[in-house]
């Protein structure tokens, strides 16, 4: 499977665990998917940095992965690191750039390059039958696990879109707060541990 505009790593890139969001563009070629093995083969899919100025999920992922450097992950992990170019400028998106949170399957703009990349990531993750799908934002955690759910119009993708997650097959959408070291825009305090408990 060839990834359009998305690098794939089968291990953690050198210096990634200590790299701040604003310096990732020096380390990564752009959006990337890390496919990391664990004892449980069905992975947890986590997306971080869909908005360049929301780095809480990245910091949480880095912290958890640092803890597991000397031992195998309990569960395989698919970690999608999104908009590193916008992170370098500490902005949500760059001028003229699509919002990475609005390009997933079901988007009204499926023909733009970011949507092709998101479709590829979605298909890659879906082919692995993920245990759960998580999007980590500064203010909330969107989590999908279990069976499927339908939105108000009967379409499962609208239920998922409302929760700001990728609608991976066999997933139900729900939201929960995430604690981080930083303060969110809503002023909630912060520790990155809630959603990585399954790793």
Query: Looking at residue 77, what is its pLDDT?
Result: 94
Cα distance between residue 43 and residue 24, in whole Å:
24
Give the pLDDT score at 30: 95
The reported pLDDT for the residue numbered 120 is 95
Element housing 88 (H / E): helix 84-88
List per-block mean pLDDT (blocks of 10 residues) for the chain, which spans 199 residues: 82 96 96 96 91 91 88 92 97 95 92 94 91 73 38 34 42 38 38 47
Q: What is the model's pLDDT at position 143? A: 45
Across-strand partners of 135? 47, 142
Q: Give the pLDDT score at 131.
A: 83
Polymer length of the chain: 199
Q: Would you state the pLDDT for residue 164?
A: 37
Report pLDDT for 25. 97
d(CA 45, CA 149): 18
pLDDT of residue 139: 54
Q: What's the confidence (pLDDT) of residue 136?
A: 74
Query: How far is residue 73 from each of residues 11, 118, 133, 173, measured CA to CA in Å?
Result: 12, 25, 17, 25
pLDDT of residue 138: 67
Q: Give the whole-angstrom CA distance, residue 192 versus residue 162.
A: 23
* Structural domain spans, the chain: 1-11+45-175
Bridge partners of 47, per DSSP, are 80, 135
CA distance 47 to 173: 15
Task: Using DSSP, state whether 7 is helix, strand or coil.
Answer: strand
CB 146 within 8 A of CB 153: no
Degrees (nearest 5) of the Cα angle 82, 63, 20?
50
């Amino acid at each position: 499977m060839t990834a359009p505009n998305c690098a794939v790593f089968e291990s953690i890139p050198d210096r990634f665990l200590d790299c701040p969001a604003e310096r990732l563009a020096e380390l990564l070629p752009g959006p990337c998917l890390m496919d990391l093995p664990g004892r449980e083969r069905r992975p947890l899919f986590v997306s971080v940095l869909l908005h360049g100025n929301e780095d809480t999920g990245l910091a949480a992922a880095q912290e958890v992965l640092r803890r597991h450097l000397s031992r195998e992950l309990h569960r395989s992990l698919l970690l999608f690191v999104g908009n590193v170019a916008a992170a370098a400028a500490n902005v949500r998106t760059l001028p003229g750039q699509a919002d990475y949170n609005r390009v997933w399957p079901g988007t009204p703009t499926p023909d733009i390059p970011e949507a092709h990349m998101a479709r590829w990531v979605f298909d890659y993750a879906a082919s692995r039958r993920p245990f759960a799908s998580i999007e980590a934002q500064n203010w909330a955690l969107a989590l999908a696990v279990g069976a499927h759910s339908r939105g108000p119009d009967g379409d499962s993708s609208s239920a998922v879109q409302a929760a700001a997650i990728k609608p991976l097959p066999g997933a139900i959408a729900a939201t929960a707060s995430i604690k981080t070291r930083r303060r969110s825009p809503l002023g909630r305090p912060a520790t990155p541990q809630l959603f990585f408990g399954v790793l």
